[in-house]
Chains A and B, each alone.
Chain A
Amino acid sequence: MKRVKVRKGDNVYEGIEIPSVDEKYLVLKLDNGYNIAFRRNEIKVDIIGEFEKKSKKIEKKEARYRKELRDVSIIGTGGTIASKIDYTTGAVYPAFSPEELEKMVPEIFELANIYPREVLQILSENMNIEKWKRVGNAVIEEINKDRSIVIAHGTDTMHYTASFLSFTLKNLSLPVVLTGSQRSSDRPSSDSRMNLFCSVKFATTDYNKVVICMHGTMEDTFCYVHKGVKVRKNHTSRRDAFQSVNTKPVAKVYYNGEIEFFEDMPAKHEKRAYFDDKIEEKIFLLKVFPNIAHEILDFLIDQKYRGIVLEGTGLGHTPSILYNTIKRGIDEGVTFCMTSQCINGRVNMNVYQTGRKLMELGVIPCKDMLPEVCYTKMMHVLGHARESDEIRKLMRTNIAGEIIEDTVIL
């Protein structure tokens, strides 16, 4: 970047020219820290020097290993939880070296021996199967070094990833905790610090399942730990956006490190953990709505989609206009699963004629499964099973905690 002198009328302004989104404007960072901008065609600009960023070298420190602590690997995928800001331009970039992490969240180094590992650098809306596979394989490599896992993840699709990993990480012996932040980590009020603290703390327990650990309320007092297959992002911006659906959270982790479990510890696995990478990619998640046309389903069938999750209305319904197309799909080997766009509650296709008709056609009612969970489960199930009876059985059998037979009053 250049240091420049800007003349506008009688006034002269000096500062650093910083990149501007709109080319018509010159953005100047004044020495008092403020940015101001002028229309380029009304000013005269003289370059007076180069701006050298004083980048302080971060000292490499020998990690002090403490035998009494567990080992926790923090896997970076992008998102704002572990990021630094360039105070000149405002650009955010990941900060994932152990040294940088220690500077940002020194307290987690008191909880465990920390091993940061950056696997991806993406915004979570760009997550896809290929990237999930990279994360899954990295988790297994780390687990096999006897390290618990914390995955730093963007919040948009964190519940999809959690659900995907719940089905594909087999024989887990240690916790896999996904966490993120709803308020960027440059701000003093960021939720990232407490989320990371509570996640690392939870990773040192024996709860050997995939979970999401995020703020429990708008306050900085505790995080909830949610089962990876029973959780959803239910708010666009609040810290407590992630909520357990149709069940209680697994545990509460307080900011002072105390943990309160709401259920028993799962059984241990003696066998070696592995990542099951047999995945069917052609799965579609379709929301049903008034006036939906059957052509969209025809198109999906033509495109050789092998599984379609219907996010039906109410107890699990679609307009009758879709019946023929659904029948055509099933005849051609496409699996249709029914979930509900009500999010809370379970589907029941016996109550109304519509539900009974859909079941008759071969649509599989997926109990109290969340649509997003059903979607990732189908990827896994169709990766293994070909026969419709087997698929039906697997979809309706609890694999990773995604089905609870009775919804309790919460």
Chain B
Amino acid sequence: MTLNAGKEGGHIGPGLSVADIVATLFFGVMRIDPQNPDWPDRDRLILSKGHAVLGYYPALAQAGYFPEQMLETFEKKGSPLAGHPCTIGTPGVDFSSGSMGHGLSVGLGMALAAKLDARDYSVYVVLGDGEQNEGAVWEAAMAAAQYHVDNLIAVIDRNGLQHDSSCAEVMDTEPLADKWRSFGWETREVDGHDIGQLLEAFQPEYRPKGKPYVIIAHTTKGKGVSFMENGVSWHHAVLTQKQAELALAEISQDKTGGE
């Protein structure tokens, strides 16, 4: 998709970082009906780090929200598949995003609405670790604890990088788990590329009662492509044909090698 987007490029590092988390949610955790994307009882997913669409649109297509051919229109003139997801025009996108730090508040709103309507859906919000810089994240964190919501689950894609540099250098949010705990959240840390660990973390028995839950998923930005891994310059990049072939070869090898 990045290659296809030509000189428009794509947020490829962030996409590869979050892909396993999103795939686990869609194919192993969430109660959804892609034929019925507005089903009121569906679980909701908000990609609060909205720039990571490359790890999101393919999952939506694979789940059946729209035909896979539509992926070819990514960032093309007239396409709804923009560099950030938009609810209007893209089936399966529960909420538009792109500006960092909005998603958790919106997720909390959805979680509270579920309680009002006595519905039992869950709301999953995927955040970036750089995104933790935004004050609004912590406003939502505080409010979620205040309202004891246990149908709101935040997942932090903890890849240690943000746009300009490493999180430690830009704005250090460590100790991150302690911060969330002190805000009244149940926390759990997992390897965000280990599907088994991710699946386990979402199991009902690990989900706290009467308080919100955050999973800190340790990930690698640019995961699966050696020359992209942990590279700041791959946050958003244009791909050459050669790079695309190398990357695809590495990723498919990874698959057959079996994790």
**A and B associate:** no
